[in-house]
Amino acid sequence: MPSTPLKDLFGVKGYVAVVTGGTSGLGHMICKGLVQNGAIVYVVALPSEPIDECVTELNTLAKAASTEEDDSIGLAIGYACDVSSKANIAQLAAFVTAREHRLDLLVSNAGIRRDSPKACDVLSAPLAELQASIYATSKAATDHLVRLLAAKFSRFYVRVNSINPGFVPSKMNPVGAEGNMFSNLFDKMPAKRAGQEDDIFGAVIYLASRGGSYIDGINLCIDGGRVLLANGQA
Ligand SMILES: NC(=O)c1ccc[n+]([C@@H]2O[C@H](COP(=O)([O-])OP(=O)(O)OC[C@H]3O[C@@H](n4cnc5c(N)ncnc54)[C@H](OP(=O)(O)O)[C@@H]3O)[C@@H](O)[C@H]2O)c1
């Protein structure tokens, strides 16, 4: 049997995708990778975000990445939405449904820490101090949620997977910025660097494309090996 060409095995051309929190950080990296590889991407962000500027940038990138033989080039479409509002989500669903016959990929990315991180030794910290980190607890809970959702949606063969990034420069986590509390941790990690756009998009394209179509209900660590040494730091 002939093997599938790589561009088809790991291709997202013509995919319809929704990316929440798509104007900054990891969401923006994922939007860039998708439009540059021929996907139609609904860039969802809070109304306060520079959605129009982001969409213009993404469409310029999509055009630049297209070739003459391309019959479809990537496209970004912006949509203002607060994903903590059920009514807003219903409106987003109606907006996409009115334009598309299907959705191939939902990247549920928005979900950030608003309070600033505090240093804490998990081996000696009192319980009250540990409980203050709702962010870390919520991120651990998503691992379980992914399996539950994958089980719930399995009868439709809608796959649910997640990526657990290590340190990736973003608005919420400005690693590399002067005085960042995590900067000295890189020396101790096997990769000895922060995560980059290709690390994140590479994982997304793998899970979303035909190459990953037999993967369901998993949490994939994209962290340069940090979890091997992190010792519980959030
Ligand atoms: N960066 C890392 O090292 C890292 C590591 C592990 C996990 N993560 C996860 O990766 C995801 C993306 O984070 P990031 O680091 O890329 O942060 P980011 O640059 O701050 O991006 C998050 C985006 O989500 C938006 N957002 C927040 N609440 C929203 C809401 N209710 N509705 C719609 N959009 C909303 C934010 O808008 P505003 O800025 O206007 O609030 C922001 O544009 C998060 O789930 C985060 O927990 C990141």
Q: Which are the contacts of 202, defined by CB distance < 8 A and separation ≥ 6?
A: none
pLDDT tens by residue, 4-15: 999 899 999 999
1-111 shares its CATH topology with 113-234: yes
Ranges under pLDDT 70 in the chain: 1-2, 71, 113-117, 131-133, 230-234
**Ligand 1 binding site (Cβ under 6 Å of any ligand atom):** 20-21, 23-27, 45-46, 48-49, 82-84, 109-112, 165, 167-168, 170-173
pLDDT at residue 177, rounded to an integer: 72
For residue 21, which atom of ligand 1 is closest to its CA? 24
Per the listing, tokens 């709702």 go with 134
pLDDT at residue 50, rounded to an integer: 98
Domain ranges of the chain: 1-111, 113-234
pLDDT tens by residue, 166-194: 889 888 888 877 777 777 777 778 998 99
Give 104 Cα–ligand 1 centroid separation in angstroms: 22
C-alpha angle 113-117-123 in degrees, rounded to nearest 5: 120
Q: Are 55 and 77 in contact (CB under 8 A)?
A: yes
Q: Which are the contacts of 132, defined by CB distance < 8 A and separation ≥ 6?
A: 118
113-234 CATH fold: Rossmann fold (3.40.50)
What does the block give as tokens for 222? Answer: 């994209």
User: What is the best residue among 55, 83, 170, 223 to mutate for testing ligand 1's pocket, by most ligand atoms within 8 Å of CB?
Assistant: 170
Q: The dihedral of CA 227, 190, 204, 172: what is its sign?
A: positive
Right CATH number for 1-111 from 3.60.20.10, 3.40.190.10, 1.10.1740.10, 3.40.50.720? 3.40.50.720
Give 80 Cα–ligand 1 centroid separation in angstroms: 15
pLDDT at residue 234, rounded to an integer: 44
